[in-house]
Structure 1
């Protein structure tokens, strides 16, 4: 559904994106994460056809990014999305439905269904009188007015309160269940981890790692085993009436079990702790900074 090859964007002498390549399958949720200035927004704007690449190619839904037909199959949500504040949500969304030649009866049903799913009330209130969260829901509804195959969302929950954020994230996840292909960026890595099938980690304009979350953890993260015993063993600490030893391999788990049995005790629990996406990201960012 999306194919990016050696994508590059340069502004004057500054390279914002350097040699990015990735694919996104139909119905997949693909996250792009990285620190401020990593090139995430520039990448998304090139996919949406809003910026022309300096080099490389980007194809979306079978079309070159920026092709007029591609844009009819695309829904784009920028991080900052000013609305026509004198309009109401209904008049605003109908305006965009007309731009996409959506029949009135289809548009009306689609608008109300989407606003219902996003739990947006006060649909006849002027947008200028609405909260940021309400405006964001209207902007998301606008991105869906043409029933696109591909959605590109830049920080969809940026600056929203926790309740609205949960609505937006859950709604994004539901869209993928409906078959939409979604590419989005977010600073909150918990949200990325909760709904993404795969992610690309960007730093200083380059993709430094990408893949499924389990693959990234295996390649760049760590796995620890917290072994709880009834008796003290080497390198263990007391923990709620038991002893806990942290090890990094199953061989060490077996050695801990043997040591506990030799001391007249036993292993009563083993818990696996894996690196979170945030920990993987921070480790990669620190490694890049040192090179």
Structure 2
């Protein structure tokens, strides 16, 4: 559904995105993560047809992003999404359905179903009088009024309370389960890890790694072992009457065991810590920092 080849976007002498290549299939959630200024939003706006690439090829649902026919297949949610605050949720969404030429009876049923799925209350209240979480849900519903195949969401849960955040993230996964293509950016790596089929990690405008989360953890992550001993060993710290040292191989665990025994003590516990996406992301970002 989405195919990006050697994407480059330059503003004057500043390169915001360089040589980015990736593809996303129908029914897939593809996450784009990276530090501020990494090129995430530029990439998403290029996919949405809001900015033109300097170089490279981009195809969305078989169309060039600048093609008006593509926009009929697309739902886009920017990070900041002001609403017409004097309108109610129902009237606001009906207005956008009219802009997409959705037949009014179909639009009415579709809007009601979407708001039910989003658990949106106070639909007859002016949008200026509702919470930020409710406004975000309305903005998400707006992205769906034309029943799009492709959804591009920039920080869909930005600034929301934990309960609403979880609801929005779960709903994003449900959209892919409906066989839609979803591309989104987020800073909360726990949510990215929980719902994405694949991710791309960006830094300094380039994709420095991409693939399924499990593969990235295996490729770039490091398993650590927290070894608890009854006596101090080199590099250990006190921990609730014991001592703990962190090592990264079983050979190192064996060395700690031998050192503890020579000191008249023993290893009393070993805990394995699997790498998570946050650790992989930080290692890659820090390892790439020398290029800044």
Q: Same fold (TM over 0.5)?
A: yes
Stretches of structure 1 lacking an aligned partner (at least 5 in a row): none
Asked if structure 2 preserves the Cα contact closer than 8 Å seen for 1:24 and 1:30, the reply is yes
Aligned to 1:59: 59
CA distance in 2, matches of 1:101, 1:191: 35
Q: Secondary structure at the match of 2:138?
A: helix
User: Could you say which residue in structure 2 is the equivalent of 1:212?
Assistant: 212
Q: Provide the TM-score with structure 2 as the length reference.
A: 0.88
| Alpha-carbon offset, residue 263 of structure 1 | 11
Aligned to 1:32, what secondary structure does the other structure show?
A: strand
CA contact (8 A) 1:233 1:256 kept: no
Match runs of 1:28-67 below 5 Å = 28-67=28-67
For the residue of structure 2 that corresponds to 1:202, the secondary structure is strand
SS of 1:290 mapped into structure 2: helix
**Deviations 1:203-258, CA, capped at 9 Å, x for gaps:** 111111111112222222211133567x6696577766777564323455567789
2:271 is matched with 271
Q: Distance in 2 between matches of 1:176 and 1:270?
A: 40
Q: What is the TM-score of this pair, normalised by structure 1?
A: 0.89
Alignment partners' CA distance in 2, 1:237 and 1:204: 37
Partners of 2:154 and 2:186 within 8 A in 1: yes
**1:92 deviation in Å?**
0.9
Q: Name which of structure 1's ranges 188-197 and 100-109 shifts more when overlaid on structure 2.
A: 100-109
Distance apart, 1:63 and its partner CA:
1.5
Contact kept, 8 Å, 2:231 with 2:266, in 1: the verdict is no
Q: Which residue of 1 aligns with 2:16?
A: 16
Map 1:194-233 onto structure 2 (within 5 A): 194-227=194-227
**Does the Cα contact within 8 Å between 1:233 and 1:259 map onto a contact in 2?**
no
Q: Distance in 1 between matches of 2:117 and 2:13?
A: 45
Give the aligned length.
Answer: 290
Distance in 2, matches of 1:234 and 1:278, equals 29
Residues 247 and 65 of structure 1, relative CA distance in 2, 3 Å threshold: same
Instruction: Return 158-167 or 262-271, whichever deviates more.
Output: 262-271
Instruction: Assess if the C-alpha contact under 8 Å between 2:17 and 2:39 holds in 1.
Output: yes
Shift of 1:12: 1.4
CA contact (8 A) 2:233 2:260 kept: no
- Give matches, 1:1-291, under 5 Å: 1-227=1-227, 246-252=246-252, 270-291=270-291
